[in-house]
Structure 1
Amino acid sequence: MSRVGKYPVPVPAGVQVALQGRTLVAKGKNGELKLDLTDDVEVEVESNQVAVKPRRDDRRSRTMWGTTRSLINGMVTGVSTGFTRSMEITGTGYRAAVQGKDLVLALGFSHEVRYPIPPGISIVCERPTAIKVSGADKQRVGQVAAEIRAYRGPEPYKGKGVRYDNEVILRKEGKKK
């Protein structure tokens, strides 16, 4: 029995969830998200909750039961409140700014890095060293944040680079004389 899948997903006020064939559609103030359902699970949409059940009693159905429930929960949360990933830039001269539809990063290279902001994602720089990536799709927000971090990940000696706000960098000791 799935510990995650057995609980129905509550649907908050202002969010509509509809089943169109084998596609689940969630609409809310942050947009619309769609999820293609597998043949291993059965989804029922009641008035204010979504229930997921396995179709068969095999390993794949039980596995997809909890996974599908988590994906639906992420969709409902995304269209109602959204997801945010905060990042911090550390290093002398390292900074970020949003110019039009691009995120411009100065990360110690001989050139500035331009990252085109994908549709459905918003990036805000409150300070030149702080970046907030937000959107309705949890996977896309995480992917965009990971791509930005990959330009210059934090290094272990001085801690310079782009890191997540909640990330702890294990520092190494430098050279000894």
Structure 2
Amino acid sequence: MSRIGKQPVELPSGVTASLSGQTIEVKGPKGTQSFTATDDVTISVEDNVVRIDPRGKSKRARQQWGMSRTIVANMVHGVTDTFKKELEIQGVGYRAQLQGNVLKLNLGLSHDVDFQIPDGVTVTVPKQTEIVIEGHDPQLVGQVAANIRDWRRPEPYKGKGIRYKGEYIFQKEGKKK
């Protein structure tokens, strides 16, 4: 039994959910999101509570049960609040700046990196060494943060690169003479 799937998703005030077939649409003050579930689960909306139940006892039905419940819970959170990832840039001369819908990264490469910001995500640069990514879809926010981080991952000897805020980088010892 899925411990996550058993829990119902409660809808806060100002949030409504409508169901048409296997597609649930959640509307809130910050926007609208929809999700189409597989035929392995049953979705029901009643009294400001969304319940997800598996159809059958197959392994796939149990997998989809917990995942579908988590996606619906994230949608409810996304239409009321935003998801946020913070990145730090460490290294001499490494910096970021925002120019319209493009994030310019100077990461010690032979060229500046121009990262096009996708729709549905807001990127701010409070300092030259900090990047804040916000949005209503946790998968999209995490993917954008990972794509930015991939341009210069933290290296283990000096710790230079782009890291998540609060991320610990294990420092290796250099060569000895």
Q: Provide the TM-score with structure 2 as the length reference.
A: 0.96
The amino acid across from 2:110 in the alignment is S
- What are the within-5 Å matches in structure 2 for residues 136-151 of structure 1? 136-151=136-151
User: Aligned partners of 2:5, 2:136: CA distance in 1, in Å?
Assistant: 22
CA deviation after TM superposition for structure 1 residue 106, in Å: 0.5
Matching residue of 1:116: 116
User: Aligned partners of 1:49, 1:97: CA distance in 2, in Å?
Assistant: 43
For residue 145 of structure 1, give the secondary structure of its aligned residue in structure 2: helix
User: Aligned partners of 2:75, 2:57: CA distance in 1, in Å?
Assistant: 26
CA deviation after TM superposition for structure 1 residue 47, in Å: 2.9
Matching residue of 1:157: 157
User: Aligned partners of 1:103, 1:149: CA distance in 2, in Å?
Assistant: 13
The amino acid across from 2:122 in the alignment is S
Matching residue of 2:54: 54
Matched, 1:30 2:30: yes
Q: Provide the TM-score with structure 1 as the length reference.
A: 0.96
Aligned residues, how many?
A: 177
Structure 1 stretches (4+) deviating beyond 4 angstroms?
none
User: Aligned partners of 2:120, 2:51: CA distance in 1, in Å?
Assistant: 27
For residue 154 of structure 1, give the secondary structure of its aligned residue in structure 2: coil
| Consecutive unaligned residues in structure 1, runs of 5 or more | none
Matching residue of 1:106: 106
The amino acid across from 1:166 in the alignment is G
| Consecutive unaligned residues in structure 2, runs of 5 or more | none
For residue 115 of structure 1, give the secondary structure of its aligned residue in structure 2: strand
User: Aligned partners of 1:116, 1:46: CA distance in 2, in Å?
Assistant: 41
